Amino acid sequence: MLSFLGSANPWLVGVGLNTVLLSLVWFAPKKLLTPAGVFHAWLLGILIWGTLGWQGYVVVMFYFIVGSGVTRIGMAQKEALGIAEKRSGARGPENVWGSALTAALCAMGVGVLNAGLFSPSPQSPVPNPQSLLLLGYVASFSTKLSDTCASEVGKAYGKSTFLITTLQPVPKGTEGAVSLEGTFAGVVGSVAIAIIGWGVNLISPLGILWSVLAALVATNLESVIGATLQSKYTWLTNEIVNILNTLIGAIAAIFLAFIWAYSFG
């Protein structure tokens, strides 16, 4: 089946596959996406399949399925406390691109390089741009799943939550709050999706380490942003912070791989 899909035009396969899958999502009793969210997820899915094939698609689907499931953990309790995701976790366009814009840009970069539209100079100091962009792609989703798991598990099961900048106890759901339970869940989430990325041959075993480290750094920096800046600037919405979070994760992973390649490669 995969060999057939790999031999067909990837863009046409992307259109057909996403139309079928998102039609199922559309008619599902539990709404995972808003109507507009379905359309934007359809565009994202086509882009990912067209540029990275089934391997990239597996990663984004893993994030979507696990992230949606984690969001619904303890939903009744979180709704009672007023800290649940809006629309009972159904994702709209802002959520789709807040989570996946960085990954989409990495995928488009790979597509441009693979199409020969841009050829790095043989003397370029950048080691294998495609592999770095693929690492950025996986690391961005590793970061976002880490953030989702940390936030949702922390709100549902965190026994004590602390503001990351002062370590003072704060209520669950406070911007910039962290918990031991949430942090552990975040690490597990980042490891899981990084292993998926390695399993489909997008990254190397070392790439798992870079993705997990980058996710840990980015998720904690996002908490700092939430604690210090988000309440001061109205334009700094959760979706904008998510974009910054995944961008930091992708850049951090690429930076770690770059330094390793020059130091030990």
User: Half-sphere exposure of 222 toward its Cβ, with a 13 Å CA cutoff?
Assistant: 29
| Region of residue 103 (left: phi > 0; alpha: psi -120 to 50; beta: else) | alpha
Average pLDDT over residues 39-48: 96
Predicted pLDDT of residue 192? 97
pLDDT reading at 13 higher than 70: yes
Q: Are strands 162-163 and 177-178 parallel, antiparallel or unpaired?
A: antiparallel
Which residues are paired to 178 by β-bridges?
162
Separation CA 59–CA 44 (nearest Å): 13
Whether 126 is in a domain gets the answer yes
Which residue segment(s) compose the domain that 149 sits in?
Answer: 55-264
If DSSP states are collapsed to H, E and C, what string results for the chain?
CHHHHHHCCHHHHHHHHHHHHHHHHHHCCCCCECHHHHHHHHHHHHHHHHHHHHHHHHHHHHHHHHHHHHHCCCHHHHHHHCCCCHHHHCECHHHHHHHHHHHHHHHHHHHHHHCCCCCCCCCCCCCCHHHHHHHHHHHHHHHHHHHHHHHHHHHHHCCCCEECCCCCECCCCCCCEECHHHHHHHHHHHHHHHHHHHHCCCCCHHHHHHHHHHHHHHHHHHHHHHHHCCCCCCCCCHHHHHHHHHHHHHHHHHHHHHHHHHHHC
The answer to whether position 197 is within a domain reads yes
| 13 in a structural domain | no
pLDDT top residue among 214 and 170: 214
Please give the pLDDT value at position 4: 47
pLDDT (average), residues 65-88: 75
Q: Decide if 30 is inside a domain.
A: no
pLDDT number for residue 26: 84
> For the chain, how many structural domains are there in total?
1
More confident residue, 84 or 99: 99
Q: Which of 254, 149, 251, 242 is nearest to 191 (CA)?
A: 149
Q: Which residue has the higher pLDDT, 82 or 168?
A: 168
Question: Is there a domain that residue 86 lies in?
Answer: yes
Distance of CA 4 to the CA centre of its chain: 28
In a domain, 131, yes or no: yes
User: In angstroms, rounded to a whole number, what is the distance separating the alpha carbons of residues 265 and 260?
Assistant: 7
For residue 60, tell me if it sits in a domain: yes
Supply the pTM of this predicted model: 0.91
Residue 84 is assigned to a structural domain of this protein: yes
- In the chain, the largest separation of any two C-alpha atoms, in whole Å, equals 59
Confidence (pLDDT) at 158: 80
19-40: pLDDT as tens digits: 999 998 888 767 788 889 999 9
Q: State which amino acid sits at residue 112.
A: V
- Tell me, rounded to whole angstroms, the distance of Cα 120 from its chain centroid: 27
Mean pLDDT of 178-197: 95
Q: What is the pLDDT of residue 217?
A: 96
In terms of Cα–Cα distance, which of 18, 28, 102 is closest to 54? Answer: 18
